[in-house]
Amino acid sequence: MQEMDVSVWRGDANGGGLEHFKVPARDSQTILDVVAWIQQHADPTLSYRYACRVGMCGSCAMMVNGVPRWTCRTHVKTVLKDNAITIAPLRNLPVIKDLAADMDPFFDKWVAAGGVHHPTRTRDEPIEILDPKTPERVETDTGIECINCSVCYAACDTVSNNVDFLGPAALQRAWTLYLDPKDADPNAILDAVSGKGGCHNCHSQGSCTLHCPNGLNPMKAIAGLKRATVSSFFKGGR
Amino acid sequence: MLGLKLYMAQRLSAMVMIPLTLGHIAVMIYAIQGGLSAAEILGRTKGSVLWFLYYGLFVLSVSLHASIGLRVIVHETLGLKGRALEIFMWLSGLLLLAMGLRALVAVTL
Amino acid sequence: MIRPHRSHPLWIAYLLHRLSGLGLALFLPVHFHVLAFALNQPERLDGFLRFADNPLVKLAEFGLVFLLAVHVFGGLRLLALEFLPWSPRQKTLAASAVAAAFLVAGTFFLQAV
């Protein structure tokens, strides 16, 4: 049976390095299959994170040959180079162990970017009816399929160079909430994304948009936030 | 590191400088034909209110724009932050402004 | 070596914008300093301009005009990206900015030699 050379990063918050494994090649094999094979047949102490295996839950993202990817839907045949693959934990996040990154900073920034719903009604009132055809709603639809996988966050060099930067996913979330007519306090969102780590720090490198596994465009969403904050600046808001 | 106000200052100064820079490049291409001499350059610019305002606005905008840009670069690549970063930005802006105004006076007054 | 997650046109455009901006910011004080010779040492300004007739200096000037033009046209793309309705043609626009900068700097160089 044909075997592949797989290098896997092993270690924890204190450091680590690559360890090499021979993994049998199979048809329709994903990177997650490779990681699972190593854990089941070569080294049961290998730590990694996954849940759904079908690209819904956003928990299995890793660096594959230096590029952040959702491993459950990345086929080996699309990334195999000279019969070798390198797999490492997501960039820009602390490592817990081996391939499992600590997602806390990523989710903390979702909240910091104003990603909290500010309701317009109470539970006792009827649900507000939305028109799906308004321009705001059409724009919102292009940004809501985020699965929180942190691939964009790992791809972004502004995140690596500027620890306060909220990152593409959190800012895209803020943009869709800002556009939501059911959000009572859009100005609170603009304030949250105008701080020292806010949308204005983005350099439009576009790595987030290029690598997003769901084909979303955080770069466009961040440009939208920049525009919204600037027009509120001219209206004398802030 | 870059809030809304600094972002606005950088983008507005950029917008001001786009026509100024294109004009500057056009003048360079025109003036460099047949070589440059101090007399030729100063003959065009000395005592001209128009060139004084043109390059005066240019110096103001570029001091703003470049010092904010340097602030971002120094923070992102060298990790300078807090008060040191503010001081760096102000010093680089004031240095560019002082040197720019000195050159402006030398060339147009 | 550009790392794999960065090897795409818009990241290169970012790098070009950053390096050209840094280069211009470092060049400006020198530019201002030389111009200020006109105030009280006009002979040094002329001396400098004669030095600038050297073909190698002309090539360096081509480089400076390219830095300036690529920063202006690249900046124009970024302003459009941030303030105009979204355009999906960012890669084309970034490549056009570089092409326009070459055209402008090339025109300068042809007039200079």
User: Which range is most confident: A71-80, A124-133, B32-41?
Assistant: A71-80
**Cα–Cα distance between A2 and A24 in angstroms, integer?**
6
Chain A, nearest residue to B1 by Cα: A196
Residues in chain B with CB shorter than 8 Å from the CB of A187 are none
C14 contacts chain B (CB < 8 A):
no
Residue A189 pLDDT grade (very low, low, confident, very high; cuts 50, 70, 90): very high
Residues 6+ positions from C86 with CB-CB distance below 8 Å: A217, A220, A223, A224
* Total-model pTM: 0.94
Kindly state the average pLDDT of the residues C7-27: 97
Q: Taking a contact as any Cβ pair under 8 Å apart, which residues of chain B between 17 and 76 contact chain A?
A: 72, 75-76
Q: Which two tokens stand for residue A62?
A: 């890793």
Give me the CATH code for the A3-101 domain, please: 3.10.20.30
pLDDT at A238 over 60: no
- The CA angle C85-C67-B16, to the nearest 5 degrees, is 50
Structural domain boundaries of chain B?
4-108
- The subunits that touch chain A, with at least 3 C-beta pairs less than 8 Å apart, are B, C
Residues in chain B with CB shorter than 8 Å from the CB of C21 are 66, 69, 73
Three-class DSSP category at A58: coil
Residue A84 identity: A
**Cα–Cα distance between A21 and A74 in angstroms, integer?**
19
Q: What is the pLDDT of residue C41?
A: 82
pLDDT at A26 over 70: yes
Closest CA to A193 of A99, A74, A112: A112
Kindly state the average pLDDT of the residues A169-185: 94
**Cα–Cα distance between A153 and A106 in angstroms, integer?**
8
Q: What is the pLDDT of residue A110?
A: 94
Q: Do domains A3-101 and A104-234 have the same CATH topology?
A: no
Structural domain boundaries of chain C?
10-112
Going A74 to A79 to A85 to A86, the CA torsion angle's sign is: negative
pLDDT digits (tens, 9 = 90+) for B49-88: 999 999 999 999 999 999 999 999 999 999 999 999 999 9
CA distance A1 to chain C (A): 30
Structural domain boundaries of chain A?
3-101, 104-234
Q: What is the pLDDT of residue A237?
A: 59
CATH class of B4-108: mainly alpha
The residues pairing with A5 across neighbouring beta strands, listed in sequence order, are: A22, A84
Task: Compute CA A116 distance to the chain's CA centroid, rounded to the nearest angstrom.
Answer: 18
**Cα–Cα distance between C59 and C15 in angstroms, integer?**
22
pLDDT at A173 over 90: yes
Q: What is the pLDDT of residue B1?
A: 84
pLDDT at A236 over 80: no
- The subunits that touch chain C, with at least 3 C-beta pairs less than 8 Å apart, are A, B
Q: What is the pLDDT of residue C37?
A: 86
Q: Which two tokens stand for residue A228?
A: 């919204």
Provide the CATH topology of domain C10-112. 3 helical TM bundles of succinate and fumarate reductases (1.20.1300)
B2 contacts chain A (CB < 8 A):
yes
Kindly state the average pLDDT of the residues A112-136: 91
Closest CA to A222 of B7, C96, B10: B7
To test the contact with chain A by mutation, choose from C5, C8, C87 the residue with the greatest count of A C-beta atoms within 10 A, namely C5
Three-class DSSP category at A80: coil
Kindly state the average pLDDT of the residues B25-40: 85
Kindly state the average pLDDT of the residues A29-33: 98
Contacts of the segment A231-235: beta carbons below 8 A, 24+ positions apart: A232/A187, A232/A190, A233/B4, A233/B8
Q: Which residues of A touch C (CB under 8 A)?
A: 65-68, 91, 154-155, 157, 203-207, 210-211, 217, 220, 223-224, 226-227, 230
Instruction: Provide φ and ψ at B41, rounded to 5°.
Output: -65, -50
Residue among C5, C8, C82 minimizing CB distance to A66: C5
Rounded to the nearest integer, the mean pLDDT of chain C is: 93
Asked whether residue C71 is marked as a ligand-binding residue, the answer is yes
**Cα–Cα distance between B21 and A13 in angstroms, integer?**
49
**Cα–Cα distance between A64 and A73 in angstroms, integer?**
12
Give me the CATH code for the A104-234 domain, please: 1.10.1060.10
Q: What is the pLDDT of residue C8?
A: 96
To test the contact with chain A by mutation, choose from C2, C22, C82 the residue with the greatest count of A C-beta atoms within 10 A, namely C82
